[in-house]
Amino acid sequence: MFKNLCITFIDVSLLLLLLVGCNTTQQPANTAGSYTTKYEQIPASSSIQELTESTINSRYKNVADICFEDYENIDNIGYLAFSYKNKQLPYCGFTVAQQDGEQYKLSYFEDYSIAEKEPVSITQFIGTYPGTKDRKFHITIGYINNDRIKQIILYYPQSNVKVIQLGEDQHVFLDINVNSKDSLLKIEGRASNGNIVYKKDSD
């Protein structure tokens, strides 16, 4: 399990440097509240965590409490889930980056405002696998607003079930399905004793 790491400071000089050369474009309506950074304008970094922090700071002036919460590496593609506060409002998101030697190059950066009234806030994303034209991948990212939830169960088509055990103080989880565009059918959030705390079918 990736141990979450929080950052409570902003490198002002890096922020000013990146603000000069970066801008963002809003996503279509089906991902309302999210933004995509033009990845070719973000310099490569020695770690995906550093790359993520640079990207966040290039977009916002009032960021605090950046936390790296979940990480996977599949075929030298890194997937990092994170959370932060912007003007005291909570956000979560993910970074997808290609590992090239000791450098990470940004492929995707997505972040979302969090619906704090929901026990679990879920967003799904389908993209083109980095370095390919027709290979797809599907990401489910969720933010946990209920501290009783210690386990997430995701139900996909064809009896594909994923069980995610949350780490201590982990609020964001990430599930990656390469070569798949299947959307989530149902989600359950369970307490440590196995009792269902939250359950929802996808629309």
| DSSP symbol at 195 | -
What is the residue range of 60's domain? 5-201
Q: How many domains does the chain have?
A: 1
The rounded distance, in Å, linking the Cα atoms of 32 and 34 is 6
Indicate yes or no: pTM above 0.85.
no
pLDDT in tens, the chain (203 residues): 455 555 443 343 333 333 333 333 333 333 333 444 555 567 889 999 999 999 999 888 889 999 999 999 999 999 999 999 998 899 999 999 999 888 999 999 999 999 778 899 999 999 999 888 889 999 999 999 999 999 999 999 988 999 999 998 899 999 999 998 889 999 999 999 999 999 999 86
The model's pLDDT over 101-157, given as tens digits with 9 standing for 90+, comes to 889 999 999 999 997 788 999 999 999 998 888 899 999 999 999 999 999 999 999
Buried b (16+ CB within 10 A) or exposed e, 67-84: bbbbbeeeeebbbbbbbb
